[in-house]
């Protein structure tokens, strides 16, 4: 067993190359704002520019096949890119791109050769940003009940309906979405996936006023919208994975979204909290010397360590293509429930200081207050806590003779 990513001299040489590239191409001012809602349009454009430059080298989607615009790189080199970006507080891609990170693997698994050649290169090279659109007003946890309707009309489909709790700040190029293609069809046999250019006539959107905009992992969205489709004509070519075969495609998508992708990043909130308590004095001593606060900090640290190990295991499982069952939703579940526990511990440890981002009274620079809101909102993106448990139960085979299979991922 080896819990550490090890690097050969060639890989370390690659790291130097990546580091030099990032030093040359990450301008000041690109770092993640403490509150993702404050990401400016200029910062967004800078990130897109960085994405394109990474994409030119195949570094935006490093493990994807070269022939479609990926890097064709082994896991170890992909990890090096992620680690180096992490030094800047960035991840791959360096902007919100859920339709790319979740849609591209689906297209790779389920698309025709022609579709792969058409859709993948712009995504993998960073020329387009893609949102994923799943949730509808009437379809949250029960995704299979989506009502947005696509009706065939010659070599197009006409789409009507709405998606909500989707998107991010500063717009998108494409939308990756699941719709109903057979309102009278059987459940799970009436859905289809489309890749939709966002500038088609009939698409409009309105922002949601939220506590904060939760992410599904990766870069934060900063905002969420309701998107309306009003007689939007989409080429039939943009239907991926076959008409009414959308639930099968969703297994790939949802497996990744439910934590199956894994991660080598460490959640820094507990490190920040510990630092805060070691350096902030109340009643004449550092907070970390208070026995109750010490106990709280250790519980938070344990939660963070378990989360790190679940993510590391999932990252390894994915990249070594090992069979998985419940591990993805387990990591997601842990992230959600431990987030709530950690937020509560912060309030217990700091009192009302936990809830202000006033520069005069918040030595964390706003991080703890933002985390508190995010921990509440994070309980639903990619499926609620309850849904993660439902998936785990099916995959484990609790009460069932036949286990449900995990989705195919790349």
Partner 1 sequence: MDLALTESQEMLKSAARTFMERECPRQVLLDLDRTETGISPEIWRQLARMGWLGLAIPAEYGGEGAGLLDTAIVYEQLGRGPLGGPHFSSAVLGALVVLECGTEDQRREVLPRVAAGEQVLALAYTEPDYGWGPESVKMAARRDGSDYILDGVKLFVHDAAAATHLLCVARTGDGPDPTAGLSVFLVDRSEPGVSVRTLPGFMAGLCEVRFEGVRVPAGAVLGEAGTAWPGLNRAFLKAIPVLCAYKVGATEAVFEMSVSYSQTRVQFGQPIGRFQRVQDHIIDIVNYLDAARWTTYEAIWKLETGRPAEASVHLAKAVASEGLYRACNSAHEVHAGIGSVRNYGLVLYTKASRSLYNYLGDPKFHKRRLADALEL
204 bridge partner residues: 228
Residue 291: CB atoms within 10 Å: 7
Q: Looking at 6, 114, 285, 360, which residue binds partner 1 (CB under 8 A)? A: 6
Give the interface size with partner 1 as a residue count (CB under 8 A): 43
Q: Looking at 13, 87, 397, 405, which residue binds partner 1 (CB under 8 A)? A: 397
Query: 């792969």: which residue's tokens?
Result: 116
In this complex, which beta carbon is closest to partner 1, that of residue 184 or of residue 283?
Answer: 283
Pick out residues in 16-55 that bind partner 1 (CB under 8 A).
none
Nearest to 63 by CA among 324, 314, 321: 321
Pick out residues in 271-330 that bind partner 1 (CB under 8 A).
274, 277-278, 288-289, 294-295, 297-299, 301-302, 305-306, 309-310, 312-313, 316, 320, 322, 326-327, 330
- The nearest distance, CB 351 to partner 1, in angstroms, is 18
- The nearest distance, CB 182 to partner 1, in angstroms, is 29
- How far, in Å, CA of 159 to CA of 178, rounded? 11
- Among 148-156, 213-221, 229-237, 385-393, which window interacts with partner 1 (CB under 8 A)? 385-393
- The nearest distance, CB 39 to partner 1, in angstroms, is 32
- The nearest distance, CB 350 to partner 1, in angstroms, is 15
- The nearest distance, CB 298 to partner 1, in angstroms, is 5
Cβ-contact 328, 260 below 8 angstroms:
yes
- How far, in Å, CA of 277 to CA of 296, rounded? 11
- The nearest distance, CB 13 to partner 1, in angstroms, is 19
- How far, in Å, CA of 112 to CA of 210, rounded? 39
- Among 30-38, 89-97, 216-224, 387-395, which window interacts with partner 1 (CB under 8 A)? 387-395
- How far, in Å, CA of 215 to CA of 374, rounded? 9
In this complex, which beta carbon is closest to partner 1, that of residue 274 or of residue 410?
Answer: 274
- The nearest distance, CB 327 to partner 1, in angstroms, is 8
Cβ-contact 383, 330 below 8 angstroms:
no
- How far, in Å, CA of 398 to CA of 248, rounded? 22
Cβ-contact 378, 337 below 8 angstroms:
no
- Cβ neighbours of residue 222 closer than 8 Å, sequence gap 6 or more: 36, 37, 38, 39, 96, 168, 169, 170, 213
In this complex, which beta carbon is closest to partner 1, that of residue 104 or of residue 350?
Answer: 350
Cβ-contact 391, 403 below 8 angstroms:
no
Q: Looking at 37, 158, 393, 410, which residue binds partner 1 (CB under 8 A)? A: 393
Q: Counting Cβ atoms within 10 Å, is residue 13 exposed (0-12), middle (13-18) or buried (19+)?
A: exposed
**What's the chain's length in residues?**
410
- How far, in Å, CA of 7 to CA of 24, rounded? 23
In this complex, which beta carbon is closest to partner 1, that of residue 107 or of residue 312?
Answer: 312
In this complex, which beta carbon is closest to partner 1, that of residue 4 or of residue 358?
Answer: 4
368 bridge partner residues: none
Cβ-contact 55, 124 below 8 angstroms:
yes
Residue 199 lies near partner 1 (rule: CB under 8 A): no
- The nearest distance, CB 248 to partner 1, in angstroms, is 24
In this complex, which beta carbon is closest to partner 1, that of residue 32 or of residue 303?
Answer: 303
Q: Is 132 helix (H, G, I), strand (E, B) or coil?
A: strand
- The nearest distance, CB 93 to partner 1, in angstroms, is 23
- The nearest distance, CB 339 to partner 1, in angstroms, is 15
| Residue 15 tokens, joined | 């790291």
Contact residues toward partner 1 (CB under 8 A) are 1-6, 274, 277-278, 288-289, 294-295, 297-299, 301-302, 305-306, 309-310, 312-313, 316, 320, 322, 326-327, 330, 333-334, 386, 389-390, 392-393, 396-401
């Amino acid at each position: 067993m080896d819990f550490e990513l090890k690097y050969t001299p060639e890989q370390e040489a690659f790291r130097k190359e990546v580091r030099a590239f990032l030093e040359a191409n990450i301008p000041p001012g690109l770092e993640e704002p403490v509150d993702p809602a404050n990401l400016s349009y200029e910062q967004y454009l800078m990130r897109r520019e960085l994405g394109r430059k990474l994409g030119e080298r195949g570094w935006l989607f490093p493990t994807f096949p070269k022939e479609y615009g990926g890097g064709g790189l082994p896991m170890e080199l992909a990890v090096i890119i992620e680690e180096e970006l992490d030094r800047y507080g960035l991840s791959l891609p360096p902007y919100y791109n859920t339709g790319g990170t979740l849609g591209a693997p689906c297209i790779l698994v389920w698309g025709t050769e022609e579709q792969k050649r058409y859709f993948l290169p712009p995504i993998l090279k960073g020329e387009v940003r893609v949102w994923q659109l799943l949730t509808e007003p009437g379809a949250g946890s029960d995704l299979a009940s989506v009502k947005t309707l696509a009706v065939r009309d010659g070599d197009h489909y006409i789409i009507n309906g709405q998606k909500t709790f989707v998107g991010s700040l500063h717009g998108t190029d494409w939308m990756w979405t699941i719709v109903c293609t057979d309102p009278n069809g059987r459940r799970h046999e009436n859905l289809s996936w489309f890749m939709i250019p966002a500038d088609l006539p009939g698409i409009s959107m309105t922002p949601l006023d939220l506590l904060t905009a939760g992410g599904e992992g990766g870069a934060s969205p900063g905002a969420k919208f309701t998107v309306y489709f009003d007689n939007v004509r989409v080429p039939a070519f943009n239907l991926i994975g076959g008409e009414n075969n959308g639930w099968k495609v969703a297994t790939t998508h949802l497996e990744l979204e439910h934590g199956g992708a894994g991660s080598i990043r460490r959640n820094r909130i507990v490190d920040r909290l510990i630092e805060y308590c070691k350096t902030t004095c109340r009643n004449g001593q550092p907070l970390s010397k208070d026995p109750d606060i010490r106990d709280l900090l250790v519980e938070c640290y344990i939660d963070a360590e378990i989360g790190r190990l679940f993510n590391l295991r999932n990252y390894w499982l994915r990249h070594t293509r090992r069979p998985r069952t419940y591990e993805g939703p387990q990591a997601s579940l842990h992230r959600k429930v431990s987030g709530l526990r950690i937020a509560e511990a912060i309030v217990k440890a700091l009192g009302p200081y936990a809830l202000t981002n006033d520069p005069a009274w918040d030595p964390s620079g706003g991080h703890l207050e933002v985390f508190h809101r995010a921990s509440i909102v994070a309980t639903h993106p990619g499926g609620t806590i309850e849904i993660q448990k439902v998936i785990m139960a099916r995959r484990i085979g609790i009460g069932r003779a036949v286990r449900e299979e995990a989705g195919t991922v790349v």
